[in-house]
Amino acid sequence: MVFDELRSNKKAQVLLGVLFGIIFGFLLQKGGVASYDVILGQLLLTDFTVVKIMMTAILVGMIGVYVMKAAGLVHLHTKLGSAGATIIGGLIFGAGFAVLGYCPGTAAAAVGSGALDALVGMIGIVIGAGIFARLYPRLDRTILNKGVFPAETIPELLGVRALFIVPVVAVLIVGVLYLLQAIGF
Q: Which of residues 135-164 bind another protein (CB under 8 A)?
A: 136-137, 139-140, 144, 149, 151-157, 162
Question: What is the total count of residues that contact another protein (CB under 8 A)?
Answer: 124
Please tell me whether residue 14 binds another protein under the rule CB under 8 A: yes
**What does residue 82 show for φ and ψ, rounded to 5 degrees?**
-150, 160
Please tell me whether residue 175 binds another protein under the rule CB under 8 A: no
Give me the least distance between CB of 20 and another protein, in Å please: 6
Cβ 22 vs Cβ 109: under 8 Å: no
Half-sphere exposure (CA, 13 Å, Cβ side) for 128?
14
CB-based burial label for 104 (10 Å; 0-12, 13-18, 19+): middle
- Say how many C-beta atoms besides its own lie within 10 A of residue 155's C-beta: 16
Cβ closest to another protein, residue 123 vs residue 171: 123
Please tell me whether residue 182 binds another protein under the rule CB under 8 A: no
Give me the least distance between CB of 156 and another protein, in Å please: 8
Q: Which of 91, 163, 171, 179 binds another protein (CB under 8 A)?
A: 91
148 three-class SS: strand
* Residue 129 identity: A
Cβ closest to another protein, residue 44 vs residue 182: 44
Cβ 51 vs Cβ 41: under 8 Å: no
Please tell me whether residue 170 binds another protein under the rule CB under 8 A: no
Give me the least distance between CB of 118 and another protein, in Å please: 7
**What does residue 140 show for φ and ψ, rounded to 5 degrees?**
-65, -35
8 three-class SS: coil
Please tell me whether residue 179 binds another protein under the rule CB under 8 A: no
Binders of another protein among residues 71 to 90 (CB under 8 A) are 73-82, 85-90
Q: Is the CA virtual torsion 168, 174, 177, 180 positive or negative? A: negative
Please tell me whether residue 128 binds another protein under the rule CB under 8 A: yes
Binders of another protein among residues 20 to 49 (CB under 8 A) are 20-32, 34-37, 40-41, 43-46, 49
